[in-house]
Amino acid sequence: MIRTTLRITLLVVLATATLAPPASTAASTATTTHPRASLTDIENDVMCVECRESLAVAQSGQADSERAYIRGLIAQGLTKKQIEQNLVAQYGEAVLGKPPASGLNLTVYILPPAILVAGLIILAVTLPRWRRRTRAASAQDASSTGSKPPLDPADAARLANDLAQFRG
């Protein structure tokens, strides 16, 4: 059963990876629809290499230097993708807010959905089992409660007397 679940999970992960568009295709369509970049658009996607926080909220000399560099690249008419490439060349990959979807970094994009799918598959397999066990246990309890010995006549009389006093 576990092998079947593992096979299904692997098939889902492979299908997700093959159906996702390549990063270069997505980037080229984004640059053709938005040929001109803006500072606020780029600030949200890059990091200050000194503060290690988004350039949009960073308040340091390095952040001001990066913003000035970006403004200069925008003035040259570069696209967002080209500006990001220049930033990586200037400051390294630490400047990117999202890791590139290649190599080992690809696990950042694939692993969370794969874990989610695996969890859903495990729930789909185990939930019916739990329900069956609960139903079987409750049915067994119901059958065992019906076979209890009858109440002793003295105890029955005392119970009736106590209930009569309580009610009235």
Tell whether the model's pLDDT for residue 95 goes beyond 90.
Answer: no
Question: Which residue range is the domain that position 18 belongs to?
Answer: 1-23+102-118
2 and 44 in a single domain? The answer is: no
Same domain, 78 and 106: no
Same domain, 46 and 94: yes
* pLDDT score recorded for residue 27: 46
Looking at the fold, whether 58 and 86 belong to one and the same domain comes out as yes
Spatial CA neighbour of 95 closest among 123, 124, 73:
73
- Which phi and psi angles does 54 have, rounded to 5°? -55, 140
Q: What's the pLDDT tens digit per position in 12-51?
A: 666 666 665 555 444 444 445 556 778 888 888 898 888 8
pLDDT digits (tens, 9 = 90+) for 122-167: 999 999 999 988 888 887 776 766 556 678 899 999 999 999 998 8
Q: Does residue 130 form part of some domain?
A: no
Pair 58, 94 in one domain? yes
Tokens of 44: 């949200």
Q: What is the pLDDT of residue 161?
A: 93
Residue 44 shares a structural domain with residue 91: yes
**Total of domains in the chain:** 2
Contact 38, 139 (CB under 8 A): no
Q: Based on the fold, state whether residues 53 and 87 are members of the same structural domain.
A: yes
By residue count, the chain amounts to 168
58: three-class secondary structure by DSSP: coil
Q: Are residues 80 and 106 in the same domain?
A: no
Q: What is the CATH number of the domain that holds 50?
A: 1.10.8
Q: Which two tokens stand for residue 87?
A: 């930033």
Q: Within this chain, do residues 62 and 45 fall inside the same structural domain, yes or no?
A: yes
My answer on whether 6 and 53 are in the same domain is: no
Residue 154 falls inside a structural domain: no
**Helix or strand holding residue 122 (H, E):** helix 106-145
Higher-confidence position of 139 and 63: 63
| pLDDT at residue 11 in the model | 62
